[in-house]
Amino acid sequence: MLFLPSLLFSQSDDCFYYMNVSTDSISIKVLNEEVMYERIYGNSEEIVLFKLLNNDGVPIVNVQLLQKNTDFIPTNCFNKSSKIVFQLVNGKIVTLHSITEDNCGILSYEEKEKINTRLLDGYFAFAKNNYEELKKSPISLMRIQFVGQAKEYVINSVIESEFQNKIYYPENIFVSFLKCIE
């Protein structure tokens, strides 16, 4: 009995919320963003960020794709047919479905640095039939299905992010943090 309170606290120690709001009409929990993929090479940067959230009892993933390049950055878009497919280390495949209306992101040009920046933002929902698998096994591969094309990302166990100056563990994002948004 004496160890039960400390066990309960230790389970929630790694749940760091960006926002946690509960009122009579809404309940929103949003975890801090996690870097899932980062590639910085020459004049090109690509970063995939995830935020896990719970909106009135529905677990969701907010995906942000940030690209910077001195060259033109081609457009990628999300719509209702977009998906994120994860291959898990245990060999299983898990698919998240877009709940985002047509969105092709924002393209801007930073005159001072002479660099193009594109930000694409989307929301993806978990399917009930494979939600439990994400809690059990790390991710090895992620495929993002944009409108008209797909891109695959190898998911590392550890990322020392140059973008955020922080260490992330992307392969275990769901194993570690799904409990925080349930």
Q: Write out pLDDT tens, residues 105-159.
A: 999 998 988 899 999 999 999 988 778 999 999 999 999 999 999 999 999 999 9
- Give the pLDDT score at 4: 35
At 165, is the pLDDT very low, low, confident or very high (cuts 50, 70, 90)? very high
- Give the pLDDT score at 178: 93
Q: Which residue has the tokens 């009930």?
A: 128
- Give the pLDDT score at 6: 35
Question: Could you give the residue ranges of the DSSP H alpha helices within the chain?
Answer: 4-12, 131-136, 173-177
At 22, is the pLDDT very low, low, confident or very high (cuts 50, 70, 90)? confident
Residues 6+ apart with CB under 8 A from 99: 60, 80, 123, 124, 125
Measured CA angle at 127 (ends 14, 144), to 5 deg: 80
